[in-house]
Amino acid sequence: MLWYILRSKAALHPVPSDPAATTLPAPHHQNLDYHPEAKPVSPLRKQSIPHPAQQHNVLPPPKSMSVIDGAADITASIHALVEKYSLDQFTIATSDGLVFASSMADSAQKDAARFGGVTAGKTLPEMQGVALFSLAHKGSDLCGIIRTNLRIPEDVRRMIEQDTQEILNWWI
């Protein structure tokens, strides 16, 4: 029996002087298949800190700033409005399609001609990248033209309308 045990050990670990030592036996995979024991999972869940939900394609909250203070003229106030609400462009147009005030001259004339006729009592069309609202000032029907690719929440739209009315009351 002792001879059998020694013989099996010699087969597993051959001596280098042995001619059979030139070929190594196949490794035992049972030693390589190491799987750690599963760790116990606590039944209690950790409470995460709530984070405000990020809504994609929505205007960020408005900045806390005045559209009147520090403005030299109505154009500076319109620029302040654009900065406050992170808009791309803002134009006030008359009912006959003329530019009343604008933050940019690039497309303001085209926007005023296209959307200026949309006044109180008419349905405001929905278009990608353009939001419209109507307002009256000193008996004149005006149209606010907002250029942005982001969705404007209703409460922010009302704030933009109020700030626009404030700009008109201050400068006109």
Which CATH number does the domain housing residue 87 bear?
3.30.450.190
Give a yes or no: residue 102 inside a domain: yes
pTM of the model: 0.64
Res 125 pLDDT > 90 = no
Give a yes or no: residue 3 inside a domain: no
Number of domains in the chain: 1
Q: Kindly give, in sequence order, each residue whose CB lies less than 8 Å from that of residue 115, ignoring residues fewer than 6 positions away.
A: 93, 130, 132, 143, 145
- Report the pLDDT value the prediction gives residue 12, as an integer from 0 to 100: 54
Give a yes or no: residue 36 inside a domain: no
- Report the pLDDT value the prediction gives residue 59, as an integer from 0 to 100: 87
Boundaries of domain holding 106: 74-171
| The pairing of beta strand 99-102 with beta strand 89-94 | antiparallel
Instruction: Please state the separation of Cα 13 from the chain's center in Å.
Output: 65
Give a yes or no: residue 67 inside a domain: no
